[in-house]
C-alpha cells in the first residue's frame, strides 16, 4: 500500500491559482474498475451525482485505450 500526499504545496498552489478553497478527496478506481471500500464515504463529499458504473466504465475504457500502445 502507498499513500499520495497532496496536502502540502499542491493544495496551496491550486487555491492561489483558482482563488478557491481546495480539499483532496482520495477516490481511487483501479484499471479493472475495482473501487476502494471507502469510495462512498469520500465521494459523498463531492457535489453532484456520481454513478459507480460510469466511473468504472471510464477506468476500463482508459485501460483498454492504453494497453495496445504499451504492448506494441
Residue 56 contacts residue 35 (beta carbons within 8 Å):
yes
Domain residue spans of the chain? 24-71
In what helix (H) or strand (E) does residue 69 lie, and over which residues does it extend? helix 52-71
Residue 4 has pLDDT above 60, yes or no: no
Question: Residue 1 — pLDDT band, cuts 50, 70, 90?
Answer: very low
CA atoms within 13 A on the CB side of 63: 12
Residue 59 contacts residue 31 (beta carbons within 8 Å):
yes
Residue 7 has pLDDT above 80, yes or no: no
Residue 12 contacts residue 4 (beta carbons within 8 Å):
no
What does the pLDDT look like over 18-62, one tens digit per residue?
Answer: 999 888 777 778 888 888 888 888 888 888 888 888 888 988 898
Amino acid at each position: 500500500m502507498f499513500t499520495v500526499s497532496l496536502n502540502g504545496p499542491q493544495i496551496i498552489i491550486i487555491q492561489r491559482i483558482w482563488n478557491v478553497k481546495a480539499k483532496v478527496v482520495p477516490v481511487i478506481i483501479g484499471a479493472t474498475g475495482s473501487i476502494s471500500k471507502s469510495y462512498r464515504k469520500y465521494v459523498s463529499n463531492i457535489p453532484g451525482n456520481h454513478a459507480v458504473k460510469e466511473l468504472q466504465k471510464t477506468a476500463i475504457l482508459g485501460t483498454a485505450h492504453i494497453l495496445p500502445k504499451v504492448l506494441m
